[in-house]
């Protein structure tokens, strides 16, 4: 697996089909904030200190405040747009391979590359700290993106971006339903429109209902620091089993869809937060 350590980060994702870049904002601002809040609460002392040193001073040690930074800089860093997603062929499985020797950029490769960059933290010069700050912000954001099922969706519909639906009475595209609509609807209906209340509910499940699964979520095969292939494999399965299932052009998505899919949203947000923390803990020791 090759990577290019330049301002433009390159990753080998040959099985991935790179098509016209859709306007994707994985999980929306609240979703990314939830993931970063969960992650920061689970950092080791060493990782918490490194994150504090790398974060811009003005955020006052609040990773969630800049968890959507990578979306906001897409128009300045145009090369970064493909790093937010993987467009897979129209099959419900994922494989990261270099069999065809075609170099593409994608979220799995970007997670590997930014992880590698952050591993230089203890030996980096002061001049390199700015680049490592950007690496931290990209990694924190992209770890969320890879857990949004439609960021590992089909190339044919650009991860649900070309599937027009109605979210209750409002026009939307399927991708945006998963990025934003379901989280906002859940906040309004169950959490008094308070993102921190939703974080608390997910944290309660992490230490309760899902407690026996957390170690497996945190683990990484073959002593790797990050395992985006695992996260992406889960993502395309969730996309097929839940996001795409039963949806056609002009479908009206209401309570049947929302209430049956919300547990999947909660779980993927939880996994993203737990795994971001575990990855940062491995990076910073």
**Rounded CA gap, 55 and 39, in Å?**
14
Paired with 173 in beta bridges are 164
DSSP 55: S
Residues 140 and 276: beta-carbon distance below 8 Å: yes
What average pLDDT does range 255-279 have in this prediction? 98
Asked if residue 23 has pLDDT above 60, the reply is no
Q: Report pLDDT for 104.
A: 53
For residue range 98-146, what is the model confidence (pLDDT) as tens digits?
433 445 589 999 999 999 999 999 886 666 666 999 999 999 999 999 9
Describe the crossing of helices 129-145 and 45-54 by its angle, rounded to 10 degrees: 110
Report CA torsion sign: 127, 130, 133, 139. Answer: negative
Q: CA separation (Å) from 28 to 23, 48, 167, 176, 204?
A: 12, 25, 16, 8, 22
Q: CA separation (Å) from 199 to 21, 34, 40, 126, 190?
A: 31, 6, 12, 35, 12
For residue range 158-216, what is the model confidence (pLDDT) as tens digits?
999 999 999 999 999 999 999 999 999 999 999 999 999 999 999 999 999 999 999 99
Domain 3-284: give its CATH architecture.
Answer: Orthogonal Bundle (1.10)
Q: Report pLDDT for 16.
A: 39
Q: Report pLDDT for 125.
A: 67
Q: Report pLDDT for 87.
A: 83
> Residues 6 or more apart from 103 whose CB is under 8 A from it?
2, 10, 11, 12, 14
What average pLDDT does range 49-68 have in this prediction? 97
- Give 137: exposed, middle or buried? Use CB within 10 Å, 0-12, 13-18, 19+: buried
Asked if residue 8 has pLDDT above 70, the reply is no
Residue 151: name the closest of 1, 32, 252 by CA. Answer: 32
**Rounded CA gap, 241 and 229, in Å?**
18
């Amino acid at each position: 697996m090759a990577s290019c350590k330049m301002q433009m980060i390159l990753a080998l994702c040959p099985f991935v089909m790179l098509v016209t870049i859709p306007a994707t904002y994985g999980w929306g601002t609240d979703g990314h904030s939830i993931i970063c809040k969960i992650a920061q609460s689970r950092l080791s002392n060493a990782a918490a200190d490194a994150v504090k040193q790398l974060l811009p001073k003005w955020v006052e040690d609040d990773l969630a405040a800049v968890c959507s930074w990578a979306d906001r800089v897409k128009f300045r860093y145009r090369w970064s747009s493909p790093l937010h997603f993987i467009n897979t062929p129209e099959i419900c499985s994922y494989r990261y391979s270099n069999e065809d020797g075609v170099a593409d950029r994608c979220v799995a490769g970007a997670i590997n590359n930014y992880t590698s960059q952050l591993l230089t933290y203890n030996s980096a010069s002061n001049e390199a700290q700015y680049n490592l700050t950007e690496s931290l912000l990209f990694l924190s954001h992209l770890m969320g993106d890879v857990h949004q099922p439609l960021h590992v969706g089909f190339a044919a519909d650009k991860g649900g971006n070309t599937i027009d639906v109605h979210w209750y009475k409002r026009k939307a595209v399927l991708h945006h339903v998963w990025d934003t609509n379901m989280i906002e609807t859940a906040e309004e209906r169950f959490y008094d429109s308070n993102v921190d209340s939703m974080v608390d509910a997910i944290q309660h499940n992490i230490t309760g209902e899902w407690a026996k699964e957390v170690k497996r979520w945190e683990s990484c095969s073959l002593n790797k620091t990050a395992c985006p292939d695992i996260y992406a494999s889960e993502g395309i399965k969730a996309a097929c089993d839940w996001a795409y299932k039963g949806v056609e052009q002009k479908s009206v998505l209401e309570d049947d869809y929302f209430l049956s899919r919300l547990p999947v949203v909660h779980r993927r947000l939880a996994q993203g937060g737990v795994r971001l923390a575990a990855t940062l803990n491995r990076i910073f020791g």
